[in-house]
Structure formats: structure tokens, C-alpha cells
Amino acid sequence: MIDEGDMAHCVAAIRQGSRSFHAASKLLPRRLRDPALALYAFCRLADDAVDLQQQKTAAVLRLHERLDLAYRGRPRNAPADRAFAAVIEEFEMPRRLPEALLEGLAWDAEGRRYDDLSGLRSYSARVASAVGAMMCVLMRERRREALARACDLGVAMQLTNIARDVGEDAREGRFYLPLEWMREARLDPARFLAAPAMSSDLGELVARLLREADTLYHRAEAGIAALAVDCRPGIYAARLIYAGIGGALRRAGHDPIRARAHTSARQKLGWLAWAGVRTGASLVMPHSALYYARPLPETVFLVEAAAEEAEPARDWSDTLHATLAELKARDAARRDALMRDTAPAMTAG
């Protein structure tokens, strides 16, 4: 399905850019491992294409063009694009799922901030739960309950990442903590961004975010038990490894400023082993009533997009196109301003 050379490129990209998923992927069955790595490689490179660029708006617009080409079966001549196009064709990947990821990246390009937890969940749904829903598609799993739990896992992972990266993001001018929480703690986001500093109030916000993540990890675990037996170890390992990042942050006193919390290779090996034991073919993970919990309101659109019997969401493309149109308008205004600023100098020259 996927060219061997393209697959090797995807594996290298994940090994470098997402060590946690690369470790967890070792427990995935071969039939799932290669398409999953191809999917993650495209998503990882898409995120880097925006995050590492100064002109983020232009980067998002180029990504939209790349996604369009992949869905037309004429991907850009690049390994990750070709591999992802093969995944789209083989698994009939609903387009609204990668488009949700693209919208989340567009929000990053806008520098959007989130007033409350629901807003942060909406962002997390796009940049993380969309990937979880796509993983379900790769596993041929389209039940709404399983999709909802996969989306829970995505939000939990993203909240963990946000908690860990508060200091690093602030130094790059990015801010994700709910503004409502900041007001309650009497913390000024502008002052914090100007001089990121640890405080007991900030530590409590980080702890609060990790508690939200833990609730969702618990809900997600109920969905893992419903997956095919050979798919459970890799997904459960990912759940343990990402939750372990939150554990490392707790042991550091909920301080994301002085150092970035990380887990060791030895810890990852331990979680991989435990995931294999806990979900082995000879064992049955206990089913929980949480499997039937309603999806988070912010992830319902992803569940609907991936479910086999889902009807097309009429307003989805309009929402994405409106976001892209706004980015295009901002980019055009930026270029016009640049031309006006440079025109006098050119005339003088």
C-alpha cells in the first residue's frame, strides 16, 4: 500500500518528532503500524510546517493545498504526502477529520486564545482528537462509543502537552491556559508572557489541567477494552506514556517553567511491558459503563464525521472555509502593509 522508501521516511520523522508515539507504535500490529506511522508523520510534519515557520498563515494555506492534492489522488511529491494519500485511499478516510486538524493549526496561526475549558477542549479536539478518530478509522472501528473514547484520549493527551509546555510556549509568545482560570487566580496573561515565572497560583492551574486530563484518560481506557485485542497494547501504551508525562510534571511540583517534564527510556519500556501484560490475548480488559458515556460536546462533530452511518455535517466546510478566508485576508493585509512600507524606500533608491 505504501512505498517502502516513503514508509522509511515516515518512521524517521516520527522517531525524531514524536518519541512517545514511536515507542507506543512498537506494540501495534503490523497491519496497523505502517498506516498509523504514515498518518502521524503527515500530522507531525503538518504541525511543524506551521509551528516552525514565521509566516504561519501562508503555511496553513499551503497545507490546505497539500491536503486537497492528497484527496484528489495527486499528492505533492514528498514521502509523507504520498504515504498519507495511500492511507486515504485504502481506508476511505473521511476528509473532515484531517480538515479538523488543519482548522486547529489555523487557530494557532491566528494566535487564538481560549477563554474557558470548553474553548481549550475545542482546540484540543482539532489538533489531537482528530488524530484519535483517524486512528479508529485505521482500525476499522466506527462505533460511536469507541470513537468518543478515542476523542477523550486525544483531548487528555493535548491537555497534558499544554500543561508540560506552559513555559516553553510562553517564551515563544504562545498561551493556552484558559483565561477564565487566569482571572480567578489573579494572574495577568500579558505579564506572564513578558516574564514567565513560576508561582503557587500557576502550579495550581497546571495541577487543575492535569486533573482534567486524568478524568479523560480514565474514560478513554474504557474504549481501549472495546478494540480488537491486537490493537489494545499500542493504544494503552500511548495512554500510559502520555499520562506519565503528567506524573513527571507532578513530581516537579507542577513547575513547567524551570524545566520541561519528560520521561526516561526506562520508564517507557516499563509502560510498554505493562501495556503488553495488561492487554495480552490471554487477558480481558474489564469493561466499564464509562464506555457508553456521551462524547464531550466539543468532540461530537468528530464522532459524527467518522461514524459509518453519519450524515454529512452541512456547516462543517463552511466553518473551515471561513477560517481559511480570514487567514487569507490577514495575509493579504500583511503583504499590502509591507508593500506600503517598502515603497518609499524603493522610490528613494
Q: Which three cell numbers stand for residue 291?
A: 464506555
Which one of 3.40.640.10, 3.30.56.10, 1.10.1040.50, 1.10.600.10 gives the CATH number of domain 4-348?
1.10.600.10
- Band of pLDDT at residue 309, cut at 50, 70 and 90: low
Predicted local confidence at residue 313, as pLDDT:
47
Dihedral over Cα of 93, 96, 98, 99: its sign? positive
Higher pLDDT, 48 or 294: 294
More confidently predicted of 330 and 162: 162
Structure confidence at residue 155 as a pLDDT band (50, 70, 90) = very high
DSSP letter for each residue of 219-264: HHHHHHTTS-GGGHHHHHHHHHHHHHHHHHHHHTTS--SSS-----
Residues with Cβ within 8 Å of 323's Cβ and at least 6 positions away in sequence, in order, are: 103, 106, 107
Q: Choose the weakest-confidence range: 110-114, 125-129, 145-149, 335-339.
A: 335-339
The contacts of residue 21 (CB under 8 Å, 6+ apart) are 14, 40, 238
Q: How far is CA 239 from CA 29, 224, 275, 303, in A?
A: 17, 10, 9, 20
Q: What is the pLDDT of residue 95?
A: 95
Residue 328 reports pLDDT greater than 80: no
Question: Which tens digits make up the pLDDT trace of 193-207?
Answer: 999 999 999 999 999
Least confident of 2-16, 277-291, 308-322: 308-322
The CA distance from 157 to 177, in Å, is 15
| Domain ranges (residues) in the chain | 4-348
Average pLDDT over residues 61-85: 93
* Average pLDDT over every residue of 202-217: 98
pLDDT: which is higher, 69 or 348 = 69
Whole-number average pLDDT of the chain: 89
pLDDT, tens digit, 9 for 90 and up, residues 14-37: 887 677 787 888 889 989 999 999
pLDDT at 200: 97
Considering only residues 17 and 178, tell me which one the structure prediction assigns the higher pLDDT: 178
Segments of 51-200 assigned E as strands = none
pLDDT greater than 70 at residue 284: no
- d(Cα 242, Cα 253) in Å, to the nearest integer? 18
User: What pLDDT, on a 0 to 100 scale, did the predictor assign at position 157?
Assistant: 97
pLDDT above 90: residue 86: yes
Confidence of residue 310 (pLDDT cuts 50, 70, 90): very low
- The answer to whether residue 212 scores a pLDDT higher than 90 is yes
**pLDDT of the residue at 120:** 98
Mean pLDDT of 2-7: 90
Question: Would you say residue 314 has pLDDT above 50?
Answer: no
Is the pLDDT assigned to residue 322 strictly greater than 90?
no
